[in-house]
Structure 1
Amino acid sequence: MGLEKKKKVEEEWNNIYNSKHQLSRADFPSHFVFGVATSAYQVEGGSKDGGKGPSIWDSFSHTQGKICDGSTGDVTVDQYHRYKEDIDLISKLGFKAYRFSISWSRIFPDGLGTKINHEGIKYYNDIIDALLERGIEPCITLYHWDLPLNLEESCGGWLDEQTVKYFAIYAETCFGSFGNKVKRWITINEPLQTAVNGYCTGIHAPGRSESSSTEPFLVAHNQLLAHAEAASIYRNKFKDEQGGEIGLVVDCEWPEPLSDNLEDKAAATRRLDFQLGWYLDPIFFGDYPESMRERLGDRLPKFSQQDRELLKHSLDFIGLNHYTSRFVGHAANSLEENDFYKIQDVEIIAEWEGGEVIGEKAASSWLYVVPWGIRKVLNYIAERYDNPPVYITENGMDDEDDDVSPLHEMLDDKLRVSYFKAYLAAIHQAILDGANVRGYFAWSLLDNFEWNLGYTKRFGLTYVDFKNGLTRHLKSSAYWFMRFLKGGQVKHGKED
């Protein structure tokens, strides 16, 4: 990375972030949604309560060696029993929306759609009602990685197109049960992570890596079709009466070209194709990106004409999960560890020329604080896909779990405060650039079960004491959001 480019990038960012103007809620449009997010398996617990069936994550987390600290999501932060307490927290902080996911196996324990679990329906209706009573909008994700275990064991889960049919039944049941009170739906969260981590690297459920050169692409294909089926059902049967909208959540790091030479710029564009284009191009343009077709050939499934029609413009908004950015350069013989990255002919690094990292390091190995990257992703989406409505559905950073430091040090999360301030400034600039950004959801409301990393990482605005009754404690970042959203003053951890 040339020093001239480094200087240019940093000057451009400093001109935005070091402005004398202190960013506030009033700088965003009045209709702009500020919310906070979680997912079912990470926070609910109650793994065998209320008639719930097992999911692939229940099985995976109980398999020795799969979770780094040997933990599970059986209880996690116990939101199943403590949702009222957590909704009170959301209200106290001033967020006006809560993005959460429904556990498919809590609605259909076997996943097949033949027998509804009415206890599960009641549970989610109770959550929705509690949110609405406090003036908080429920934003529901139908699938956040926790496939009913029976579907995995009986038909191969996302490898089999039957799962598309079962997902459609499940989605229609949710629309019918909750749609008169829910106006914003998300079909699937981060299908890329399911495809790559579930079926290529194997670090996520269901933990497959045996056929990493083919299975991720079949899984992605079926998830796209499941999204399109659910969106079609919503639009044809429910939208006119219920008046809501439906979208898909994709995740994307910003790949900053390693240099200004054409090869590195092409590599960065290719990286975007394998992140965003993989899922958005079929919806907006009718097929996978050409760079994927060139590299994957017959390994990339083909869409029928009927598939194309179903997928065409099958979303009302894009949900974007964005955490970090890294440099990307061309590498004809990529040293990346698995097929998914090797096939892209890219190298992904996190350092400027000279060894200085791209941004301050968070706890996770991949996460650096690079706020200017989110502006570039948003402007890329606006340019490539004709400026569709976008919600930032996840954005945040993690700390290491630390059971040695005193509680007050763990609560004073200065870097997270800086992270949110800077990323919101970059999002505000993207809006000024013309990007059609409609809302922002911070990740996450609570420290929780962080998938294969267990409880070793903490993403929450709220500290959860896992050793002492799961007590919730607001961090400095929570108080910062409280001040930002309400306009009050916060001193010494208390709102004045």
Structure 2
Amino acid sequence: MVKYGYLTGGLPPNHCSVQSGDCQSGNPAIEPYLAAHNVILSHVTAVDIYRKKYQVMQGGKIGIVLNSIWYEPLRNISSDQSAAQRALAFHNAWILDPIMFGEYPPEMQRILGPRLPKFSLQEKEKLQNKLDFIGISHYTSLYAQDCMFSECNAITSQTDAFVLTTGERDGTYIGEPTAMEAFYVVPSGMEKIIMYYKDRYDNIPMFITGNGYPDANDPSNSVDDFVIDSKRVEYLNGHLSSLTMALRYLVFLFMKFYFI
């Protein structure tokens, strides 16, 4: 929501750049990072309060839920592979790295420099409380193309990462398009985003908190079309199969570590 509110202007307070939204105010080179910084500080404050006042009594867990997009290199070249890693950092690790490590992702620090806000010593102390779990809302995957030495994208945050994101390569979509723009059916992304979080955040517990298929409201569809809902069934089956692959691999690693 930070990007839509302070970059593209699609949501309140409708701040954007002239190039990336239909609004007249905002500074997308700075505002999205300030807004995200305040989101992170709000989260860690809530965690701090819960840890001190309620967790022991309630026996509960506290975490954070993120919309998690997986990015594939557009081309099988090192620059696009690096671009995919930058896209993952700017979209997913942007929020999680400060919570888990007390600092923004190195990929962001290298590119943004002083535009990234700093955490005070007191704030870093609160960040030590970390999380009990990550909630993963994963719906789609995209390609990432390196733009480090070319102007291939006008949207500021993606230009900051020097990445063009697209769902198409050589006239072929990354997965079947859906009724929602830039939303494709790519089941393999489920396994890959889980393994990304596992490796980056030391196998922290994870929950799948969001996944689903956007369908058009077509008045010409019959009642049977809505009831059978075959596209959604296929989507969920593919993503559950991908999730099973990730679980099998994690079980294999567990067995190898403890019993071999």
Q: TM-score normalised to the size of structure 2?
A: 0.88
Within-5 A mapping of 1:34-49? none
In the other structure, the counterpart of 1:438 is none
Question: Which residue identity lines up with residue 5 of structure 2 in the other structure?
Answer: G
In the other structure, the counterpart of 2:217 is 401
Tell me, in whole angstroms, the C-alpha distance in 2 between the residues paired with 1:331 and 1:337.
11
Are 1:338 and 2:165 matched, yes or no? no
Q: Tell me the percent identity.
A: 39
In the other structure, the counterpart of 2:168 is 351
Are 1:271 and 2:87 matched, yes or no? yes
Which residue of the other structure, out of 214, 234, 241, is the alignment partner of 2:50? 234
Are 1:200 and 2:200 matched, yes or no? no
Task: Rate the CA distance shift 1:338–1:274 in 2: closer, same or farther, 3 A.
Answer: same
Tell me, in whole angstroms, the C-alpha distance in 2 between the residues paired with 1:340 and 1:285.
22
Tell me, in whole angstroms, the C-alpha distance in 2 between the residues paired with 1:334 and 1:348.
13
Q: Decide whether the 8 Å contact of 2:48 with 2:129 is kept in 1.
A: no
Q: What is the Cα deviation at residue 405 of structure 1?
A: 2.9
Tell me, in whole angstroms, the C-alpha distance in 2 between the residues paired with 1:271 and 1:357.
19
Tell me, in whole angstroms, the C-alpha distance in 2 between the residues paired with 1:363 and 1:424.
21
Question: SS state of the match for residue 226, structure 2?
Answer: helix
Q: What is the Cα deviation at residue 364 of structure 1?
A: 0.5
Question: Which residue identity lines up with residue 216 of structure 1 in the other structure?
Answer: P
Tell me, in whole angstroms, the C-alpha distance in 2 between the residues paired with 1:351 and 1:338.
18
Task: Rate the CA distance shift 1:335–1:283 in 2: closer, same or farther, 3 A.
Answer: same
Tell me, in whole angstroms, the C-alpha distance in 1 between the residues paired with 2:220 and 2:147.
43
In the other structure, the counterpart of 1:429 is 245
Q: Decide whether the 8 Å contact of 1:282 with 1:312 is kept in 2.
A: no
Q: Decide whether the 8 Å contact of 2:73 with 2:84 is kept in 1.
A: yes
Deviations 1:281-325 (A, max 9, x none): 112221001221122222210011111111124211001111011
What 5-or-longer segments of structure 2 have no aligned partner?
A: 17-25, 252-260
Q: What is the Cα deviation at residue 395 of structure 1?
A: 0.5
Tell me, in whole angstroms, the C-alpha distance in 2 between the residues paired with 1:199 and 1:275.
15
In the other structure, the counterpart of 2:34 is 218
Within-5 A mapping of 1:298-447? 298-332=114-148, 333-353=150-170, 355-434=171-250
Q: TM-score normalised to the size of structure 1?
A: 0.47
Question: SS state of the match for residue 277, structure 1?
Answer: helix
Deviations 1:171-191 (A, max 9, x none): xxxxxxxxxxxxxxxxxxxxx
Question: Which residue identity lines up with residue 164 of structure 2 in the other structure?
Answer: E
Q: Decide whether the 8 Å contact of 2:187 with 2:239 is kept in 1.
A: yes
Question: Which residue identity lines up with residue 234 of structure 2 in the other structure?
Answer: S
Q: Decide whether the 8 Å contact of 1:257 with 1:328 is kept in 2.
A: yes
Tell me, in whole angstroms, the C-alpha distance in 1 between the residues paired with 2:165 and 2:3.
16
Give the structure with higher Rg (CA). Answer: 1
Q: What is the Cα deviation at residue 351 of structure 1?
A: 2.5
Tell me, in whole angstroms, the C-alpha distance in 2 between the residues paired with 1:416 and 1:363.
12
Question: Which residue identity lines up with residue 343 of structure 1 in the other structure?
Answer: D
RMSD: 1.4
Tell me, in whole angstroms, the C-alpha distance in 1 between the residues paired with 2:155 and 2:143.
18
Question: SS state of the match for residue 245, structure 1?
Answer: coil
In the other structure, the counterpart of 1:24 is none
Q: Decide whether the 8 Å contact of 2:47 with 2:62 is kept in 1.
A: yes
Q: Decide whether the 8 Å contact of 1:371 with 1:426 is kept in 2.
A: yes
Tell me, in whole angstroms, the C-alpha distance in 2 between the residues paired with 1:222 and 1:281.
15
Question: SS state of the match for residue 143, structure 2?
Answer: strand
What 5-or-longer segments of structure 1 have no aligned partner?
A: 1-193, 436-496
In the other structure, the counterpart of 1:35 is none
Q: Decide whether the 8 Å contact of 1:197 with 1:203 is kept in 2.
A: yes
